[in-house]
A and B are shown apart, each in its own frame.
Chain A
């Protein structure tokens, strides 16, 4: 059974009358908050980033970084859920435990992971489902991110499929529960576990120990994390402790209550009438961010100005990025990079132009993927109570002097 079908079956059908809503009740959507500055304290293996919390650490990447195809490890965003994250891993003793409906339980050491399995690499975007959440009004629950809860890296590791093949699946095996090592303050607090259906495992899903050619930074899940290209980061479990194979789906807080969107066509609802059925967030939608220039930047009249940024989607690949300098009346194609990092990575774009008029100038960027899906205007995005999956056309306002 596919994830989506499962939730349809599992969901209670009562309250379906809440479907009909009027525009007056709708929440509104706008550009996310963009005026936050990096802090003055550097976290381990990081440069100073926009700092929302130290316990657990919540760090956002500033906009200027989104001109590069690969986000440097020390500028990569950080998001944990529990107050107690391991601050030391004994790399000689660390193991990933594979258990449940397997013929042979495994305890895989880092050495075995690096030497006994085929090593593979994939470049992929890691984005929090709540990235840009500050775009939604009324304020949905969760961290009020700007647009920097995302990054792209070259990940190296081992296919999860290969590990499961080594363990051997027993009859009836259908689901995988992947658990990390972060711990709550109270025993009763739900653990951060993610369930994957075996059908969702393709060859790109890997357990990675390397990020951009280096060990994973501790705060990004050292020594190993799950990489699920094209999918939001709540599935990319950090500091993996164990993977349990089961025949049945276990109901989980973070999947069934926290990281969910309304299970309807528009994935939308109104603050007054929340849609009764929900589904876990999964594949990312098409999005782009302008890395340069930033809001408030000064461009010189009649100079050769260049707009730069990154675009990505859930794996279909980016077809085009368009730029508008007249509030969205006309759009012009930006130049894309070669795309050699693959369909799960950022495509960087650049667009040259000559500012012809003094004063304020609005620059808009819109990505279109290979399925023809394009980013909507911020105001056309429909509200959802978790503030997930915002992908509005990015707008920066500069001053021509």
Chain B
């Protein structure tokens, strides 16, 4: 009986097409994250969205100015995002205004 089972199982595996699950291009859905509008948003959109959704910003929660500065620096220094000094200031101000906790440090 045990042998029989094994034979059946082998037959079943052999009959399974090699890659049957998804045969076409997958579509990753677009999620409209509820990002806040305000001064500097266009700059945030132009720079940040190149690499990641607004979900990343919202996920961080309310943070200090130093925190947001550190984040933007990380994108420039480590991820090599070509953000100009002028844009950096605008982005940090936007993030702190809308996703800040009121604390500088």
Contacts and interface: CB of A to CB of B under 8 A. Distances in A.
Contact of B59 (A41, A52, A54): A52
B60 to A, nearest CB: 6
Contacts of B81: 186, 189
A390 B81 CA distance: 30
Interface in B26-40: 26-31
A58 B55 contact: yes
A218 B25 CA distance: 10
A139 interface: yes
B6 interface: no
Contact of A44 (B28, B50, B63, B82): B28
B57 to A, nearest CB: 10
Contact of B63 (A139, A190, A257): A139
Contacts of A185: 50-51
Interface residues of A, number: 44
Interface residues of B, number: 32
A54 B74 contact: no
A56 interface: yes
B4 interface: no
A87 B78 contact: no
Nearest to B58: A52
A253 interface: yes
Nearest to B71: A141
Nearest 10 CB-CB pairings of A with B: A53-B55, A188-B80, A44-B26, A88-B25, A54-B31, A91-B19, A215-B21, A53-B53, A185-B50, A55-B53
Interface of B: 18-22, 24-31, 50-53, 55-56, 59-61, 63, 67, 70-71, 74, 78-82
11 contacts: A43-B28, A44-B22, A45-B21, A53-B53, A54-B55, A55-B53, A87-B26, A143-B56, A189-B81, A215-B19, A218-B26
Interface of A: 39, 41-45, 51-58, 82-83, 85, 87-88, 91, 110-111, 114, 138-139, 141, 143-144, 184-186, 188-190, 214-215, 217-219, 222-223, 253, 257-258
